[in-house]
Chains A and B, each alone.
Chain A
Amino acid sequence: MSERATIDVSALPDHGFGSRSVMWWATVLVILIEATVFVATITSYFYLQGNEAAWPPPDTPLPGLEWPTVNTIILLVSLLPNQFVKAAAEKMELRKVQIGMIVADLIAIGFVAVRVLEFAHLNVRWDSSAYGSITWTLLGFHTFHLVTDLFDSIVLTVLMFTRHGREPKRFVDASENCFYWYFVVLSWLPIYAVLYWAPRIL
């Protein structure tokens, strides 16, 4: 039999970070889907606002500004351990990843606690007006996707303390998790502006 050319890939690594990884692509696509959900919801917010002369409607107080602003600061602060973990994961430094993730998770839990206070100070019910409905729903969507990501992060943190923690795949997962957290934080900024500043400015 004549020799047939072959390409031998056996020496290739068994993982890749960043845009080399299929998990990165999946994360990006999930981010695109969720961003589209947010864009549709925010567009609906302004569509409903455009119909009304007064926004919030008469006799509805503005949403409280203190707690969401505190929470925004908390989220921005969480970027520090987030970047720390991402860099450590890409260098596969287990100890740093473990500690960094615990810090990040604690900050996120604090955020969720303050989020409860945010809801309590919206000063409107979801069923009193279209303004109340879209306000609760927009805040609710963000809360939902943050809570589910927090759960993922906690599971991943636990995993980093098991024997699975050393596998390259886990470090890729950790890196992707940090990448996704960037989206959670950055997507909050326009939502914060819409929910708490748009009724004051427009």
Chain B
Amino acid sequence: MNVMEGTPYALPGATREHEELTRTWAPASGLLRWFRQVDHLIIGRRFIITAFIWFALGGLLAGLMRLQLAVPENTVLSNDQYNQVFTVHGITMMFLFAVPIMEAMAVFIIPLMIGTRALAFPRANAYAYYMLLFGGMMVYTALFLNMAPDAGWFNYPPLSGPAFSAGKRVDIWAELVNFTEISALTVAVEIIVTIFRQRAPGMSINRMPLYVWAMLVTSFMIVFAMPAVMVASNFIGLDRLVGTHFFNAAEGGDALLWQHLFWFFGHPEVYIIFIPALGMVSSIVSVFCRRPVFGYTAMVLSLVATAFIGFGLWVHDMFATGLPQSGESFFTAASMMIAIPSGVQIFCWIATIWLGKPSFRPPFLFVVGFIAIFVIGGLSGVMVASVPLDLQLHDTFFVVAHLHYVLIGGSLFPLLGAVFYWFPKMTGRMMNERAGHVSFWLVFAGFNLTFFPMHKLGLIGMPRRIYTYLPETGWGPLNLLSTAGAGVLALGMLVYFGNALVSMRRGALAGADPWGGATLEWATASPPPAYKFLHLPVVHGREPLWEGPENAPVVTGVSTKKREVLITRTLDAEPDHLYVYPGPTVWPFLAAVTTGSMLVAGLFTPWAFAIGTAALLVFMTGWFWPTTKKKEGEAPPNEGAAAA
């Protein structure tokens, strides 16, 4: 039974194509198959699951922090343990979860949404996944060995330098940055190339779904932002390992150099986490209001404007360092100005809801929750953008409240909605809707109970990153309330993820298009077959599935015997040439093991980098050495098959 029967772009009677494509695109088999997969559906699923595992661990650490702060002078964690816990919580969420999960969702969804059979550079994609896995394993092993980084996720010198942080803790921070930035940059390159060169014919650049625009913009931000933190982390690694003086004032170095480099990355980083969520919101609002998002051009320009302006805000994290006031005012202006494109997006979504017919199913609830929470975060952001206000609020729990309102409200809520929305496409089954509603309300209530009181705590004087506080401060009751809220939030997360886990096995079977979607991912089976689309689609508008797809042309002539994709032109998506991608191979895994070993050995000696680079070059040669024509991208030999 051809699983693609009934989907809009499958020509009837294409049984032979189905069989050949199934063989050609078959995942790796055999003993080593887990180490050899390269297909974006498989790698994407792994990426998503692994990123959520880091999320769960980071969440547990947050729970420990809330327990410790629930009452004054608590003894759940010692000061040293608390410093490791809050640092690892931060680096988990920022480096191991937030950016990777957004990239992971894109790895799975983007090729489907633009009508192609592969993500560009499949081997590099596998390599990027292993790097995320190994990076997280390194950090959590360190945590269990009581040698986790402990100088904050932002790792300021001189505290993080050789004079004030003995041992390997901060070196692990520096290597983790290398793991995660290599992973993120690799995926960003793949996403950009895929979006630019592999869109379905007819999907000109102004017909791309808003989610695709969001991921394109995000990937470019990654390209320009992440190198700054890699440079910073290599500088501090060199200071600690071989005695350089980048941040040592006594020999001409400057602690503020770190802050500039780090925040030049750090501010775009949060938009890298946020902009994909904006794309997810657009997808969900459109489908659950039964109409395209209002103001497509304004939405696209807002995404692009947010990305550009986002690179001009970083000094707002340094307002208390004594920089000249006139310079600081520029960053206040930019930090306020960035609210305008975000505002435009929110107004357009509200207009879409107004003009459409909203359906209050869980994905849409999470989007409504996003608006309610994110706007608070945006407003508190405007507050801390003001230098005078920031001088009081900086480094207090007010900022903790702000950042969680924008990150959890602005990114996690859309993500939870998107996971619910795309779950049927990924697994073939629906998540339970009643549990979805329950989890939404628990998460919404729990989140606000946890983080709203923190605005107040910051205003009345509670600084950040403290392992305890004295009873006479009077901060106890609000902290206790916050911890209680964290319990509710945790319960909500358990219900949500429990729902996901159970539904993977027992959820109602979804068809190709359970929500009545508009975009191409809904034009293939759930989950998609290994070859994604039986015939590649051709599109004529922004909402292909709402515009009579059964009358649209399809592409023929793409080989069924090789992993061939259609390369189209960047702006107008006219067909240009055909390109064959490689099949399963173990080289990406080996290269990741080599890189990982080099980075871990680099904790101890600088020679690791010389030896590691040499070894890596050898492995990369193996990776890129072309295989014989028969193996490269072609179907494996099959005894019974008819000759080509």
A contacts B directly (C-beta below 8 A): yes
A interface list, Cβ under 8 A from B: 1, 4-16, 19-20, 22, 25-26, 29-30, 32-34, 36-37, 40-41, 44, 47-48, 51-52, 57, 126-134, 136-137, 144, 148, 151-152, 155, 159, 164, 167, 169-170
User: Once bound together, how far apart are the Cα atoms of A20 and B567, in whole Å?
Assistant: 8
Contacts of A52 in B (CB 8 A): 252
Asked whether B369 is an interface residue with its Cβ less than 8 Å from the other chain, the reply is: no
B578 touching A14, Cβ below 8 Å: yes
Interchain residue pairs with CB less than 8 A apart (8): A6-B553, A16-B577, A22-B121, A40-B227, A130-B244, A133-B253, A137-B238, A155-B621
Q: For residue A25, which residues in chain B have a CB less than 8 angstroms away from its CB?
A: 192-193, 196-197
Of A13, A30, A152, which contacts B578 at CB under 8 A? A13
A137 pairs with B244, CB closer than 8 A: yes
The answer to whether B193 touches A129 (Cβ under 8 A) is: no
Instruction: Give the Cβ gap from B168 to chain A, nearest Cβ, in Å.
Output: 20
Task: Please give the distance in Å from B520's CB to the nearest CB on chain A.
Answer: 16
Min Cβ gap B321→A in Å is 14
Assuming the contacts A26-B193, A131-B252, asked whether A4 and B576 have C-beta atoms less than 8 A apart, the reply is: no
Interface residues of B in 569-593 (CB under 8 A from A): 570, 575-580
Which of B201, B234, B577 is close to A7, meaning CB atoms less than 8 Å apart? B201
Q: Contacts of B501 on A, CB cut-off 8 Å?
A: none
Contact A148 B617 (CB under 8 A): yes
A9 touches B558 (CB 8 A): yes
- Known contacts A14-B580, A40-B231, A137-B235; is A51 also within 8 Å of B575 by CB? no
> Cα distance A25–B234 when bound, in Å?
27
Q: Which of B231, B252, B558, B624 is close to A129, meaning CB atoms less than 8 Å apart?
A: B252
The one of A14, A26, A51 that contacts B254, using a Cβ cutoff of 8 Å: A51
* In-complex Cβ contact of B245 among A5, A14, A130 (8 A): A130
Contact yes or no, A57 B224, CB < 8 A: no
Q: Which residue of B lies closest to A29 (CB)?
A: B189
Q: Which residues of A contact B235 (CB under 8 A)?
A: 44, 133, 137
Q: Is the CB of B557 within 8 A of A10?
A: yes
Known pairs A20-B577, A136-B244 / 11 extra A-B pairs, C-beta < 8 Å: A7-B575, A8-B555, A12-B575, A12-B578, A13-B577, A14-B580, A22-B197, A33-B185, A127-B242, A148-B613, A169-B626
Question: Contact at A133–B538, with CB atoms within 8 Å?
Answer: no
Chain B residue nearest to A165 (CB atoms) is B626
Name the CB-closest residue of B to A133: B244
Q: Are B553 and A15 in contact (CB under 8 A)?
A: no
B197 to chain A, nearest CB (A): 6
Question: What total of A-B pairs shows CB separation below 8 Å?
Answer: 165
Residue from B226, B230, B244 whose CB has the most chain A CB atoms within 10 Å? B244
B contact residues, range: 35 or more
Is B555 within 8 A of A134, CB to CB?
Answer: no
Q: Are B227 and A36 in contact (CB under 8 A)?
A: yes
Given A137-B235, A159-B626, A9 contacting B251 (CB threshold 8 A):
no
Q: With a CB–CB cut-off of 8 A, which chain B residues contact A169?
A: 626
Q: Per-residue CB proximity of B57-91 to A under 8 Å, as 1/0? A: 00000000000000000000000000000000000
Kindly state the separation between the CA atoms of A32 and B192 in the bound complex, as whole angstroms. 13
Would you call B557 and A4 a contact (CB within 8 A)? no
Task: Report the separation of the CA atoms of residues A137 and B552 in the bound assembly, to the nearest whole angstrom.
Answer: 56
A130→B251 contact, CB < 8 A: yes
- Among A1, A9, A29, the residue within 8 A (CB) of B193 is A29
Within 8 Å of chain A (Cβ to Cβ): is B554? yes
Does residue B228 face the partner (Cβ distance < 8 Å to A)?
yes
How far apart are the CA atoms of A199 and B231 in the complex, in Å?
22
**Binary interface encoding of chain B residues 199-234 relative to chain A, with 1 for a CB under 8 A from any of its CBs, else 0:** 001000000000000000000000110111011001
Q: In the complex the two chains form, what is the Cα distance from A105 to B208 in whole Å?
A: 43
Provide the residues of chain A in CB contact with B251, threshold 8 Å: 128-130
Please tell me if the beta carbons of B224 and A32 are within 8 angstroms of each other in the complex.
yes
Say yes or no: A41-B579 contact (C-beta < 8 A), given A9-B556, A47-B254, A129-B252.
no
Measured CB to CB, the closest approach of chain A to B127, in angstroms, equals 13
Does B577 contact A15, Cβ atoms closer than 8 Å?
yes
Query: With a CB–CB cut-off of 8 A, which chain A residues contact B120?
Result: 22, 26
Q: Is B228's CB under 8 angstroms from A20's CB?
A: no
B343 in the interface (beta carbon within 8 A) = no
The distance in angstroms between the C-alpha atoms of A60 and B3, with both chains bound, is 73
> Which are the 10 A-B pairs with shortest beta-carbon distances?
A10-B557, A130-B252, A133-B244, A127-B243, A5-B553, A36-B227, A130-B253, A9-B557, A37-B227, A8-B557
Asked if B477 lies at the interface with its beta carbon under 8 angstroms from chain A, I say no
Do B189 and A129 have beta carbons less than 8 Å apart? no
Asked whether, in the complex, the Cβ of B246 is within 8 Å of the Cβ of A30, the reply is no
Chain B min CB distance to A95 (Å): 20
Contact of B246 among A44, A128, A148, A159 (CB under 8 A): A44
Residue of A nearest to B559 (CB): A10
Whether B579 contacts A48 by the Cβ 8 Å rule is no
CA distance A123 to B189 in the complex (A): 39
B248 at the binding interface (Cβ < 8 Å) = yes
Q: How far is the CB of A5 from chain B (nearest CB, A)?
A: 4
Q: By the criterion CB–CB under 8 Å, are B189 and A4 in contact?
A: no
Chain B residues within 8 Å of A37, by CB: 227, 230-231
| Bound CA span A25–B246, Å | 34
CB proximity to A under 8 Å, residues B233-274:
234-235, 238-239, 242-246, 248, 251-254, 257, 260-261, 264
Q: A151 — which chain B residues lie within 8 A by C-beta?
A: 617
Which A-chain residue is minimally distant from B181 (CB atoms)? A33
- Give the chain B neighbours of A164 by CB distance below 8 A: 626
Query: Does B566 touch A at the CB level, under 8 Å?
Result: yes
Assess whether A8 is in contact with B243, with CB atoms less than 8 Å apart: no
> Closest residue to B247 on the A side, CB-wise?
A130
